[in-house]
Every structure is written in structure tokens, then in C-alpha cells.
Amino acid sequence: KHLTYLSHIKPLSFREQRMLERSRYLVVSELAAVCRQAECMIEPRVDQALAKACSKHDRRPVRVRAAGAAVGH
């Protein structure tokens, strides 16, 4: 989910892109096997779920923490 969100913000590196494609393939193929449906029927549902998750992420305000706050100072 996070890599999908990042792909909308910035171009992914080659390694990130491969990881995103591989994980997407695994999710779609697992759901297709469990639901006993063709992968082409599952892909739009996965895309829709990812779009919904990314839109929720876009609406959330960005919290910026100071470096000292992360360490507990």
C-alpha cells in the first residue's frame, strides 16, 4: 500500500517498482485463488481498494516532528 502511495508522489526506483509489481501480483493471485475467480476479475477490486487507501492517506494531515521529539528530548 505504501509503495502504491509513493508511486503517486514520486517516481519509484527500479527496485521499488519491482517490489511493487511483485507484491501486487502476489496479492492478486492469492485473492484469485481464494475467491476462485480469474485474476482479471480481482485486479479491479485490488486497484479500487488501493485507490481508496491512498485517498484516505491524502486527506490525513502531514505531521512533522522535530528531530529532538523523535528521540524524546
Phi, psi of 11 (to 5 degrees): -65, 135
Per-residue pLDDT at 13: 96
Q: Could you write out the DSSP letters of every residue in 18-48?
A: HHHHHHHHHHHHHHHHHHT--HHHHHHHHHH
Split at pLDDT 50, 70, 90, the class of 57 is confident
Q: Is residue 70 part of a domain?
A: no
In a domain, 49, yes or no: yes
Q: Is residue 22 part of a domain?
A: yes
Number of domains in the chain: 1
Mean pLDDT of 57-72: 53
When pLDDT is averaged across residues 33-52 and rounded to a whole number, the result is: 95
Domain membership of residue 21 (yes or no) is yes
Q: How many residues does the chain have?
A: 73
* pLDDT category of residue 64 using cuts at 50, 70 and 90: very low
Tell whether 69 is covered by a domain: no
Give residue 41's domain range.
Answer: 2-60
